[in-house]
């Protein structure tokens, strides 16, 4: 029975990314890129134009599944991340949301007891049905091609999602939401609890639909001092992980507390995540000694090095590979890919990482 073709009923060989998430030092490391489906790809821009606006794309299962798979087709990435957005949770909770061209997301802010109290977490999963359908379609497409690619579901962490919900848009310093968290922690805690419930439900929906790993994006975790970080980042993230664990004991969860600095160690210890996303500013060798040896690290190439390409890209990528060899690791960027990235720079990076 010397054959590479899997026999019916034979166990599928474990996918490289799932092996790394289970604590194995897979080499060359599995790889994917944050925002790998996006405007730097001509085939994405084509589907995006067809869909009309960004929310229409996120809620059209066939189109969203197609753009999820585009970077797999082009580059053979080890991870396919569901094409959606962290702000689809507030959208599914009924908060008016739009993505203004060149301006980023705009939401009708929720800041007072009436607005926060009116949010009902139990409607999130049902309203997110089109997104869960995307997960089903992507998983079926990957399975049909006996893909080694792992399907990653995701959500924003309660703190980062609350940042946008309270401010109503992106912010340099998040002064309004940080102010509210100090001035009225009981009210802000209600919003965070609503998000813990809604996010748990939504992620469990993604698991049922076929997601094989989950990632929690906490882009603005680094805007908080330690006391607030413990309360609004570590606590709610840990609750979501524990809630998921009650239902599913095996799915790997990747936490990405961006710009957490030294607090990464405490986050890694106390939230229960299997793996840690590492942002661009962090020394990977430091991160490796700050987390348990069984916890996989994921990151942290500077997206600007990928825009630049050439020797700069090669030097940075090789330095990361050198630091991570011998431990569980998933190659990625330290933040989302830039829309001006030449697609051939991504091909060059894939070749380099695949060569180990």
Ligand X SMILES: Cc1c2[nH]c(c1CCC(=O)O)Cc1[nH]c(c(CCC(=O)O)c1C)Cc1[nH]c(c(CCC(=O)O)c1C)Cc1[nH]c(c(C)c1CCC(=O)O)C2
Asked whether the beta carbons of 49 and 55 are under 8 A apart, the reply is no
177 touching ligand X, by CB under 6 A: no
Report the alpha-carbon distance of residue 129 to residue 353 in Å, rounded. Answer: 36
Q: Which is nearer to ligand X, 75 or 327 (CB)?
A: 75
* 238 annotated as belonging to a binding site for a ligand: no
- Tell which one of 29, 38, 61, 168 touches ligand X (CB under 6 A): 38
Report the alpha-carbon distance of residue 71 to residue 67 in Å, rounded. Answer: 8
Q: Which is nearer to ligand X, 81 or 327 (CB)?
A: 81
> Does the active-site annotation cover 164?
yes
Site size toward ligand X, by CB under 6 A:
22
- Whose tokens are 């792992």? That residue is 150
Q: Which is nearer to ligand X, 27 or 54 (CB)?
A: 54
- Tell which one of 25, 127, 336, 338 touches ligand X (CB under 6 A): 336
* 219 annotated as belonging to a binding site for a ligand: yes
Instruction: Look at strands 253-257 and 275-278 and give their pairing.
Output: parallel
What the block records as the tokens of 208 is: 């049922």
70 touching ligand X, by CB under 6 A: no
Looking at residue 203, what DSSP letter applies? H
- Tell which one of 26, 41, 51, 81 touches ligand X (CB under 6 A): 81
Report the alpha-carbon distance of residue 214 to residue 202 in Å, rounded. Answer: 11
- Tell which one of 40, 202, 217, 232 touches ligand X (CB under 6 A): 217
- Tell which one of 66, 78, 85, 279 touches ligand X (CB under 6 A): 85
Report the alpha-carbon distance of residue 44 to residue 279 in Å, rounded. Answer: 25
- Of 44, 164, 202, 329, which one is the catalytic site residue? 164
Looking at residue 38, what DSSP letter applies? S
Looking at residue 169, what DSSP letter applies? B
Beta-strand ranges (E) seen in the chain are 79-81, 97-100, 104-107, 150-156, 213-218, 253-257, 275-278, 296-301, 329-333
105 touching ligand X, by CB under 6 A: yes
Q: Which is nearer to ligand X, 104 or 117 (CB)?
A: 104
Annotated binding site: 35-39, 85, 164, 219, 335
Annotated binding site for substrate: 35-39, 85, 164, 219, 335
Q: Which positions lie near ligand X, rule CB under 6 A?
A: 34-39, 48, 54, 81, 83-87, 99, 104-105, 154, 170, 217, 219, 336
């Amino acid at each position: 029975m010397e054959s590479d073709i899997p026999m019916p009923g034979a166990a599928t060989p474990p996918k490289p990314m799932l092996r790394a998430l289970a604590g194995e030092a897979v080499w060359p490391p599995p790889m994917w890129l944050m925002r790998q489906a996006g405007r730097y790809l001509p085939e994405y821009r084509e589907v995006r134009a067809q869909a009309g606006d960004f929310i229409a794309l996120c809620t059209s299962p066939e189109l969203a599944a197609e753009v999820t798979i585009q970077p797999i087709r082009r580059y053979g990435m080890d991870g396919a991340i569901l094409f959606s957005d962290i702000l689809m949770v507030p959208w599914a909770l009924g908060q008016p949301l739009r993505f203004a061209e060149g301006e980023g997301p705009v939401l009708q802010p929720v800041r007072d007891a009436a607005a926060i109290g009116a949010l009902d977490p139990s409607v999130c999963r049902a309203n997110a049905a089109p997104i869960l359908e995307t997960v089903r379609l992507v998983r079926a497409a990957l399975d049909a091609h006996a893909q080694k690619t792992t399907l990653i579901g995701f959500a924003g962490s309660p703190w980062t999602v609350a940042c946008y919900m309270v401010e109503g848009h992106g912010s340099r310093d998040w002064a309004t939401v940080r102010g509210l968290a100090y001035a009225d922690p009981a009210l802000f805690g209600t919003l965070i609890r609503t998000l813990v419930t809604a996010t748990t439900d939504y992620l469990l929906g993604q698991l049922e639909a076929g997601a094989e790993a989950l990632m929690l994006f906490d882009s603005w975790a680094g805007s908080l001092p330690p006391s607030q970080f413990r309360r609004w980042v570590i606590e709610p993230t840990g609750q979501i992980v524990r809630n998921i664990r009650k239902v599913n004991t095996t799915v790997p969860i990747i936490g990405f507390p961006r710009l957490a600095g030294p607090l990464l160690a405490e986050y890694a210890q106390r939230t229960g995540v299997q793996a840690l996303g590492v942002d661009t500013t962090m020394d990977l060798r430091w991160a490796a000694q700050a987390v348990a040896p069984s916890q996989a690290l994921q990151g942290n190439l500077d997206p600007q090095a990928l825009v630049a390409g050439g020797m700069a890209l090669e030097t940075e990528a090789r330095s990361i590979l050198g630091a991570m060899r011998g431990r569980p690791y998933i190659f990625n960027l330290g933040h989302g890919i830039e829309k001006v990235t030449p697609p051939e720079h991504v091909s060059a990076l894939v070749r380099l990482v695949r060569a180990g």
